[in-house]
C-alpha cells in the first residue's frame, strides 16, 4: 500500500476513532461538535473538530464509503498534499458557510464530515468530469450531472428547511473542493472549461439568492 493510500486510510481512521469516542462519551461529543454559540464565544476548534464526529454509525459509514470511493481520484491528480488541502479546506469552508447562514441561530449545532467529503467528490468531478457515478450505488449518472443537480437540491433544501441536514455545510464543502482544485490544477480551466462553467452556475445562483434576501 502506497503513501497516498495510507493518508486516505489515516483520515478515515481519524473519523472512525473520534466518532466512536463521541458515541460513547456525550461530554466529548458536546465539547467538539459544531455549536454556533460556542464558536462565536471563541471556541474556534469546533469548526474543525465537528467534522470528525458523526451522529451514528450509518452517518459515519455513508460519509467514509463516499470518501473511500473518490479520494483516490483526487490523490492520483493532486497528490497527498493536494488531497489533504481539498479535504481540510472543504471541511473548514463548509462549516464557515454554515456559520454565516446560522450566525444568529445560537441554538444551531451540527456534526459530520459531509462538507469535506462533498469537497473531495467535487474535486474528483472537476478532475474527471466524464466519470460515471452510481446514484444510490445503482443508477448510472454522469458525475457532472450529479454535481450540478446536488447543488441545486442543496439550495432548495436550504430554503425549505424541512430536515435536520446541514445542507449549507455540504454546499460550502462543494465550493471548497471546486475552488481549491482550480487553484491547485489550473489546467482544468483549459481541459474541462465547459464543466468548470456549468459547475459554477449553482454557486452563482446561491449568492444571487442570498443577495436578494431569498435564503
Q: 92-102, pLDDT tens digit by residue?
A: 999 999 999 88
**pLDDT number for residue 195:** 86
Q: Would you state the cell numbers that stand for residue 211, as one nine-digit string?
A: 443577495
pLDDT higher than threshold 60 for residue 3:
no
Q: CA-CA distances (angstroms) from residue 111 to 46, 55, 59, 192?
A: 9, 7, 10, 33
Contact between 180 and 85 under an 8 Å Cβ cutoff? The reply is: yes
Residue with cell 462565536: 40
Contact between 54 and 111 under an 8 Å Cβ cutoff? The reply is: yes
All domains in the chain, ordered by first residue: 3-211 (1.20.1540.10)
Residue with cell 468531478: 125
Q: CA-CA distances (angstroms) from residue 192 to 75, 126, 144, 185, 204?
A: 18, 7, 11, 11, 19
**pLDDT number for residue 202:** 85
pLDDT higher than threshold 80 for residue 158:
no
Contact between 188 and 126 under an 8 Å Cβ cutoff? The reply is: yes
**Cα–Cα dist 19/125, whole Å:** 28
Contact between 108 and 47 under an 8 Å Cβ cutoff? The reply is: no
% residues pLDDT > 90 (the chain) = 52
Residue 117 C-alpha from the chain's centroid: 4
Element housing 97 (H / E): helix 57-101
pLDDT (tens digit, 9 = 90+) per residue, 168-196? 888 899 899 999 999 999 999 999 898 89
pLDDT (tens digit, 9 = 90+) per residue, 128-146? 988 877 655 567 778 778 7
Burial of 190 (0-12, 13-18, 19+ CB in 10 A): exposed
Least confident of 7-16, 147-156, 197-206: 147-156
**pLDDT number for residue 2:** 47
β-bridge partners, 133? 141
Residue 172 C-alpha from the chain's centroid: 7
Residue 133 has phi, psi (to 5 degrees) of -110, 155
pLDDT (tens digit, 9 = 90+) per residue, 23-75? 999 999 999 999 999 999 999 999 999 999 999 999 899 889 889 888 999 99
β-bridge partners, 134? 140
Amino acid at each position: 500500500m502506497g503513501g497516498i493510500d495510507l493518508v486516505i486510510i489515516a483520515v478515515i481512521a481519524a473519523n472512525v476513532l473520534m466518532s466512536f469516542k463521541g458515541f460513547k462519551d456525550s461530554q466529548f461529543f458536546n465539547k467538539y461538535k459544531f455549536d454556533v454559540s460556542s464558536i462565536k464565544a471563541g471556541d474556534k476548534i469546533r469548526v474543525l473538530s465537528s467534522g470528525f464526529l458523526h451522529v451514528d454509525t450509518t452517518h459515519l459509514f455513508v460519509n467514509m464509503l463516499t470518501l473511500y470511493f473518490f479520494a483516490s481520484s483526487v490523490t492520483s491528480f493532486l497528490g497527498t498534499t493536494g488531497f489533504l488541502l481539498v479535504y481540510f479546506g472543504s471541511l473548514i469552508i463548509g462549516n464557515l458557510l454554515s456559520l454565516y447562514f446560522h450566525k444568529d441561530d445560537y441554538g444551531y449545532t451540527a456534526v459530520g464530515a459531509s462538507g469535506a467529503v462533498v469537497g473531495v467528490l467535487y474535486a474528483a468531478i472537476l478532475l474527471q468530469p466524464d466519470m460515471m457515478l452510481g446514484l444510490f450505488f445503482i443508477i448510472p449518472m454522469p458525475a457532472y450531472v450529479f454535481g450540478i443537480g446536488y447543488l441545486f437540491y442543496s439550495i432548495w433544501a436550504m430554503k425549505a428547511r424541512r430536515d435536520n441536514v446541514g445542507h449549507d455545510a455540504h454546499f460550502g464543502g462543494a465550493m471548497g473542493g471546486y475552488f481549491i482544485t482550480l487553484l491547485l490544477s489550473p489546467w482544468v480551466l483549459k481541459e474541462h472549461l465547459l464543466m468548470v462553467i456549468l459547475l459554477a452556475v449553482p454557486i452563482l445562483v446561491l449568492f444571487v439568492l442570498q443577495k436578494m434576501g431569498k435564503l
